Amino acid sequence: MGVQEQYPFDVESIRDDFPILERSVGGDPTTPGADEADDTDLVYLDNAATTHTPEPVVEAISDYYRSYNSNVHRGIHQLSQEASVAYEEAHDRVAEFIGAEGREEVIFTKNTTEAMNLIAYAWGLNELGPEDNVVLSEMEHHASLVTWQQIGKKTGADVRFIEVTGDGTLDMADADAKIDDDTEMLSLVHVSNTLGTVNPIADLAALAHEHDAFVFADAAQSVPNRPIDVAALDVDFLAFSGHKMCGPTGIGALYGREALLDAMEPYLYGGEMIRRVTFEDSTWEDLPWKFEAGTPSIAQGIGFAAAVEYVDDLGLDRIEAHESLLASYAHDRLTDLGGVEIYGPPGDERGGLVAFNVEGVHAHDLSSILSDHGVAVRAGDHCTQPLHDELGVAASVRASFYVYNTVEEVDALVDAVRAARDLFA
């Protein structure tokens, strides 16, 4: 059976929902759309950074602006009522998507980073002290690592890091040693955006809860491509971003257990999040609104819910299978090419991305050559500088896959890598 015959859904039909995939690249990059001078087809393999947006999501956003554009929770008139209902129902849809109890447990943020900062500042500054520790891993994204690092400096709390083994997985014995009775928070990436490692969140959550610690899962690279149930993972907090799962930029979600969110003080103050204000004091709105100060990202929230609907209709099990198929195929083909060092677990034990380097070629040079072949990847440290230090490299190239990618595009990647390798040989 050919690899294409193993697709879990009709990829070509899905691609029809993404007109951007039909464009060519190679024209003036300072002029969007100026691609007439070159016939190179776009091969978009930078999905771990941002996925593309399908027509149904674009239409949902456009419909808001065309039909009922208005502020939410502030007007009695019909447009405001319609916008408020749509925005509230968006929270309901996202809550259902991840198995939350209801909209009270889902706060809309700009992205995963803001969600991480919300918990770190609203909870961490008030709860952490010099006798406490926060446990992360060496593969954390800067959104987690830098945030807790700086909270540790402010509170005196120790920040510890679970070591990564040579095969790109967490050292579970080290996790058992690092998480102790002084641990207040375990903040862990679910799927590494560099290694592709899928961390055993539920097992680590059980370990952390044995020590009465809370658990925060960075699910930016997992919610878009695999079924997620916050109850099954047994996490206290979880965050993800809309733009990594067919949604718009500027919107993400923070899940938190209702009792914990209810007990926390707000992170931002202002309009929308208040119930009663006097010159002397203020009281806060109910969840989730007490953590959504000011005019929210209304159109983005509505588009977020439309993106959830889109990926749900495709089927998270099938999305996971498709990404796994392409990642495994890319891993094997790049390995067979020779002169390529791949980071992380084997191809069939990783999320939908492959980070690698080619012997004798700097990652930025390699990315530039791939771009000349129409292949869009990411080069750099992928917001995991300390992990790259542990790997002994300054940067790597990352190819990441999503629902609309094909085996032929992986072949185009490998051909471009071969051309770069031969050029520098």
- Hunting for tokens 């009270």 — which residue is that? 104
Greatest alpha-carbon pair distance for the chain in Å reads 72
Q: Please check whether residues 177 and 240 belong to one and the same domain.
A: yes
Q: Please check whether residues 393 and 331 belong to one and the same domain.
A: yes
Tell me, what's the pLDDT at 37?
52
Question: For position 342, which CATH number holds?
Answer: 3.90.1150.10
Cα dihedral 335→336→339→343 (10° resolution)? 0
Tell me, what's the pLDDT at 36?
55
Q: Which of 262, 289, 313 is the last residue before a domain boundary? A: 313
Q: Please check whether residues 319 and 195 belong to one and the same domain.
A: no
Report which of 90, 87, 51 is spatially closest to residue 70, judged by C-alpha positions: 87
Q: Please check whether residues 335 and 301 belong to one and the same domain.
A: no
Host domain of residue 322: 4-50+315-424
Number of helices and strands (H, E) in the chain? 15, 17
Q: Please check whether residues 127 and 272 belong to one and the same domain.
A: yes
Tell me, what's the pLDDT at 26?
87
Q: Please check whether residues 189 and 277 belong to one and the same domain.
A: yes
Report CA 93 to chain centroid distance, whole Å: 18
Question: For position 258, which CATH number holds?
Answer: 3.40.640.10
Q: Please check whether residues 333 and 292 belong to one and the same domain.
A: no
Name the region of 33 (left: φ>0; alpha: ψ -120 to 50; beta: rest).
left
Q: Please check whether residues 327 and 250 belong to one and the same domain.
A: no
Write the pLDDT tens digit of every residue in 361-386: 999 999 999 999 999 999 999 999 99
Whole-number Å distance between alpha carbons of 178 and 133: 9
Q: Please check whether residues 308 and 332 belong to one and the same domain.
A: no
Counted domains in the chain? 2
Whole-number Å distance between alpha carbons of 331 and 380: 19
Name the residues annotated as catalytic. 383
Tell me, what's the pLDDT at 17?
98
Within 10 angstroms of residue 330's Cβ, the number of other Cβ atoms is 27
Q: Please check whether residues 22 and 63 belong to one and the same domain.
A: no
Tell me, what's the pLDDT at 29?
64
Q: Please check whether residues 249 and 324 belong to one and the same domain.
A: no
Tell me, what's the pLDDT at 201?
98
Q: How, if at all, do strands 375-376 and 43-44 pair? A: parallel
Q: Which of 285, 313, 341 is the last residue before a domain boundary? A: 313
Q: Which residue numbers in the chain have pLDDT < 50?
A: none
Within 10 angstroms of residue 289's Cβ, the number of other Cβ atoms is 22
Q: Which of 283, 313, 343 is the last residue before a domain boundary? A: 313
Q: Please check whether residues 284 and 389 belong to one and the same domain.
A: no
Tokens coding 187: 């903040």
Burial class (CB in 10 A: 0-12, 13-18, 19+), 4: exposed
Whole-number Å distance between alpha carbons of 371 and 351: 23
